[in-house]
Amino acid sequence: MYVSKVSPTGKERVMKPEDVIISKTDLRGIITYCNDIFVEYAQMETSVLYGSPHSIIRHPDMPRAVFKLLWDEVQAGRELFAFVKNLGADGAHYWVFAQIIPEIAEGRTVGYFSFRRAPRRAALPVLETLYEKMRSEEKRLGGAAGMEASLKLLMDTARSKNKSYEELILELQGA
């Protein structure tokens, strides 16, 4: 896993409602394409982004379990929606509502597309609180046990509202 050497500044770059960040990766999560809006929010040149792991924009506030869920789902050939806090090269963060889709060619997965839009602002305090609890579980237990406990916390949160993970995420986005 790539660990950014960029320190978060606490400054937020808010996505415009009309913006759509698009990227494509290979099966290992290495960026093979990104649009100009990705470059703008990440504050990185395409020469840096292409060939880098998508985790180059990972913010340390993100629980590892969210990415485990993401990889489990897309590697199984399923689409996934998630709220993600990313980190730009300038230390500013930006929240996205991500849709990740496997790219299928000749019956097999050959890569992944990600489309990110502006998240519903009202969802962010809920997510920040939930993600903080998840990170605490990951830190408290460490390793696989921490990841499992963090993921369980996420799923239990959805179940406590009589929803699946996807229903919870889409409801938070107002979709």
pLDDT tens digits, one per residue of 89-137: 999 999 999 999 999 999 999 999 999 999 999 999 999 999 999 999 9
Strand, helix or coil for residue 99: strand
CATH architecture designation of domain 21-173: 2-Layer Sandwich (3.30)
Write down the pLDDT at residue 175: 79
Q: Which residue has the tokens 């990415």?
A: 67
Among candidate residues 87, 80, 66, the one with its CA nearest the CA of residue 157: 66
- What are the distances in angstroms from CA 157 to CA 129, 147, 170? 12, 15, 14
Write down the pLDDT at residue 4: 56
What does the alpha-carbon distance between residue 82 and residue 136 come to, in Å, rounded to a whole number? 19
Q: Residue 3 pLDDT more than 80?
A: no
pLDDT tens digits, one per residue of 38-85: 999 999 999 999 999 999 999 999 999 999 999 999 999 999 999 999
Q: Look at the pTM and tell me if it is higher than 0.85.
A: yes
Say how far residue 169 (Cα) sits from the centre of its chain: 12
